[in-house]
Structure 1
């Protein structure tokens, strides 16, 4: 065979081999490409499905909110109502309801401040520093019974329905009494009044610094008024016997000295106790000594195996409760005070409030 013909034959064979190899590679890649395309299509369908679900959920939520607003407007007798709006907000060492003292004076080391809105003139606070205490009118903003629209029907002047509980069981009493002879936050109008000690008034910043508080963080403030002992303190005033029932004396015990050292370090990052670690320790002890809970919570709280926790400012302590007398005497009865002990065994930085 001539050399030129042989070379041409080799070239044709090489081209054929190359084409066969390319065809084989394409055949190998087709299943993989097909699988990728199928995966992409599946993901696109899932995204579209989730987007439709999100749109439907939003549409339903908006419709429900509109319906609830219509129901509220229909059931509330706004023509006979009184419109009020907050003038400021509380920034408190208490982030949750559980563990907040029933009266601020029972825990004098607790701290908070009221910052008034920019629409409130700083001049409104001129002269307040001359008073030692202040009355605070506020809203129970974390109530749970006000979210039910049916609960507002009884507020209409022409309504004959009773939607709010007429009687409740106070923590210090075994029997039920009328809501208007208690200071329960669950009232027809969720408005509260409390007395606090004035530490400092910053007129320029529209801020009043307080101690001895029982207010939650972010509580809306409707008004404040100075406490005047000549008018507000009545020597002949009387109260129900169950209100003045002696409470059990509770002893606070720290599991180790290092716990208080931990609290001292945490106080450097606190909002209300920076530079005052001893006051933070005192606030923790005072709050635990006057803790108020429902009967169910008290039974669980006093269980020796139950681990309790309390958050003050940026500190969370864990503790156990031990009765030194008959447990039945601690649930608010009138059988006398019973000594008890709280053992604090852990202290750490509190997680951010939700």
Structure 2
């Protein structure tokens, strides 16, 4: 048996699993903050970490762990049509619900007994528990000629984004939120089976505590409202 400890909680714009980018660096404005918790928030725990530009975060899939796992899953990059073995995918439904993400480290803030890591683009739900941090080592962690099967290229932008008159008015004083909405929804967060539908579909998503309604028709997503 192993005693796995939560060392910190990450804060991101994504209040729910729907809409989270499938990998980091796909949504540049989707940044995060990792707040370490005692006793791991001691300044000595991060001494020297500022000398690294990128980190590996190990975390728990706490939103899907209760759903268990299967031998085979349908990767979204394959359109949800083809099955692959669980260990040939990055599915969240794993025998042990542990995830791994490489993120950029922007800054380390230490004050008032708080240690906060300011991060670049992330692919985690808000308040995901982090169980470890490791420095990213380019000479050993990067293999430019590596083969990556069905995910060898960065996914293309899937949807064209339009804003309704109402949404434009609601976002008039929030240009950064508008840009974040555009970056997230352009990646097409819909489940693969929904993308096959030819009818107009309406969805809701929460970003930065804003409730966003949008519809999709013919690869065009129209943002209907932002509340």
TM-score by length of 1: 0.58
Q: Does 1:126 align with 2:50?
A: no
Equivalent residue for 1:45?
none
Please state whether the residue corresponding to 2:90 is helix, strand or coil.
coil
Paired position in structure 1 for 2:84: 177
User: 1:249 Cα shift?
Assistant: 3.8
Q: Does 1:87 align with 2:39?
A: no
| Secondary structure class of the residue paired with 1:104 | coil
Q: Runs of 5+ in structure 2 lacking a partner?
A: none
Residue 61 of structure 2 corresponds to residue 140 of structure 1? yes
> Cα–Cα, structure 1 residues 346 and 282, in superposed 2: closer, same or farther, change >3 Å?
same
Q: Which whole-Å CA distance do the structure 2 matches of 1:217 and 1:249 have between them?
A: 24
User: 1:295-314 deviations in whole A, cap 9, x for unaligned?
Assistant: 334346x631x221221112
The correspondence of residues 315-334 of structure 1 with structure 2, limited to 5 A, is: 315-323=210-218
Structure 1 residue ranges without an equivalent (≥5): 1-80, 152-163, 266-276, 324-339, 349-354
What root-mean-square deviation, in Å, do the aligned CA atoms of Structure 1 and Structure 2 show?
2.2
Q: Which residue of 1 aligns with 2:171?
A: 263
2:191 to 290, 294, 301: 294
Change (3 A) 1:145 1:131: same
Distance 1:245 1:216 in 2: 21
Secondary structure of 1:344's partner? strand
Q: CA deviation at 1:281?
A: 1.9
Q: State the 1:178 CA deviation.
A: 0.1
Which residue of 11, 17, 25 corresponds with 1:105?
A: 25
CA deviations on 1:122-174 (whole Å, 9 max, x unpaired) are: 2212232332221110000011545xxxx6xxxxxxxxxxxx41111111212
Distance 1:245 1:222 in 2: 27
Say whether the 8 Å CA contact 1:111–1:210 is kept in structure 2: yes
Structure 1 CA distance, aligned partners of 2:125 and 2:82?
28
Contact 1:100–1:291 (CA<8 Å) still a contact in 2? no
Evaluate the alpha carbon distance shift between residue 278 and residue 228 of structure 1 in structure 2; reply closer, same or farther with a 3 A threshold.
farther
Give the SS at the match of 1:230. helix
Match of 1:215 in 2: 124
- Counterpart check, 1:345 vs 2:224: yes
Q: Which has the higher contact order (CA 8 A, sep 6+)?
A: 2
Aligned counterparts of 2:199 and 2:131: Cα–Cα separation in 1:
40
Preserved CA contact (<8 Å) 2:157 2:187 = no
Divergent runs of 4+, >6 A: none
Q: Are residues 341 and 235 of structure 1, via their aligned partners in 2, closer, same or farther at CA, if it must alter by over 3 Å?
A: same
Partner residue in 1 for 2:177: 280
Q: Structure 1, residues 170-198: CA drift from partner, whole Å, max 9, x if none?
A: 11212101000100011000000012222
The 1:210–1:246 alpha-carbon spacing in structure 2 relative to 1, beyond 3 Å, is: closer
- Report the counterpart of residue 303 of structure 1 in structure 2: 199
Residue from 188, 205, 208 that aligns with 1:313: 208
